[in-house]
Amino acid sequence: MILANITTPLLGLVDTAVLGHMQVPAMLAGASVAALILTQIYWVCGFLRMSATGLSAQAKGSENPTVESAKVLWQAMAFSCVLGILILLLQQPILHVGLTLTQPNESVASYLNDYFAARVWGAPAAMLNLVLIGWLVGQQKTKQVMIIQIVGNLLNAGLDVAFVYGLGFSVAGVALASVIAEYSMMAMALYIALGRVKGVRIAGDWFNRAARRVLMKLNGDMLIRNLALQGCLAFLTIQGARYGETSAAVNAILMQFFVLIALGLDGIAYGVEALVGEAKGARDNQEIKRRTYQGLFWSTLFAVGYSIGFWLFGESIIRLLTEHGDIVEAALPYLPLMVLLPVLAHWCFLFDGVFVGLTRASSMRNTMLVSALFVYFPIWFITQNAGNKSLWYALIAFLFARGVTLGVSFYQLGIKNALSVSES
Per-residue pLDDT tens for 284-300? 999 999 999 999 999 99
Q: What integer best gives the mean pLDDT of the chain? A: 87
Q: pLDDT > 90: what percent of the chain?
A: 49
Is the pLDDT at 22 greater than 70? The verdict is: no
Is the pLDDT at 105 greater than 80? The verdict is: no
Rounded CA gap, 19 and 14, in Å? 9
Q: pLDDT > 70: what percent of the chain?
A: 95
Measured between its terminal Cα atoms, the distance across the chain in Å is: 31
Contact by Cβ (8 Å): 306, 340: no
Is the pLDDT at 420 greater than 70? The verdict is: yes
pLDDT of residue 230: 87
Judge if 203 and 216 occupy the same domain.
no
Q: Helix H segments across 139-244?
A: 142-161, 170-196, 209-242
Is the pLDDT at 185 greater than 90? The verdict is: yes
Contact by Cβ (8 Å): 51, 364: no
Last residue of a domain, one of 169, 184, 207: 207
**pLDDT-based confidence at residue 123 (cuts at 50, 70, 90):** very high
**pLDDT-based confidence at residue 412 (cuts at 50, 70, 90):** very high
Last residue of a domain, one of 182, 207, 232: 207
**SS3 (DSSP) at 388:** coil
Judge if 93 and 12 occupy the same domain.
yes
Last residue of a domain, one of 207, 230, 256: 207
Judge if 171 and 102 occupy the same domain.
yes
pLDDT of residue 82: 93
pLDDT of residue 253: 83
**pLDDT-based confidence at residue 424 (cuts at 50, 70, 90):** low
- At 48-80, the pLDDT tens digits run 999 999 999 999 988 888 899 999 999 999 999
Q: Which residue has the higher pLDDT, 299 or 18?
A: 299
Judge if 224 and 119 occupy the same domain.
no
CA distances 224 to 124, 128, 230, Å, are 22, 20, 10
If you average pLDDT over residues 205-225, what whole number do you get? 87
Name every residue whose Cβ is closer than 8 Å to that of residue 188 and which is 6 or more positions away in sequence: 147, 148, 151, 152
Judge if 180 and 216 occupy the same domain.
no
Judge if 173 and 233 occupy the same domain.
no
pLDDT of residue 95: 87
Instruction: Tell me the residue range of the domain where 91 lies.
Output: 1-207
If you average pLDDT over residues 173-190, what whole number do you get? 91
Judge if 53 and 141 occupy the same domain.
yes
If you average pLDDT over residues 225-234, what whole number do you get? 90
Judge if 160 and 176 occupy the same domain.
yes
CA distances 50 to 213, 241, 257, Å, are 17, 31, 24
Q: What H or E segment, with its residue span, contains residue 245?
A: helix 245-281
**pLDDT-based confidence at residue 21 (cuts at 50, 70, 90):** low
- At 349-388, the pLDDT tens digits run 999 999 999 999 999 999 999 999 999 999 999 999 998 9
Q: Which residue has the higher pLDDT, 5 or 86?
A: 86
* Most confident region among 113-127, 151-165, 167-181 by mean pLDDT: 113-127
If you average pLDDT over residues 248-258, what whole number do you get? 84
Is the pLDDT at 344 greater than 60? The verdict is: yes
Judge if 185 and 225 occupy the same domain.
no
**pLDDT-based confidence at residue 174 (cuts at 50, 70, 90):** confident
Q: How many domains does the chain have?
A: 2
Establish how many alpha carbons lie within 13 A of residue 23's alpha carbon, considering only the half-sphere containing its beta carbon: 3
Contact by Cβ (8 Å): 359, 218: yes
Judge if 223 and 89 occupy the same domain.
no
Judge if 198 and 220 occupy the same domain.
no
Rounded CA gap, 285 and 269, in Å? 19
pLDDT of residue 161: 80
**pLDDT-based confidence at residue 25 (cuts at 50, 70, 90):** low
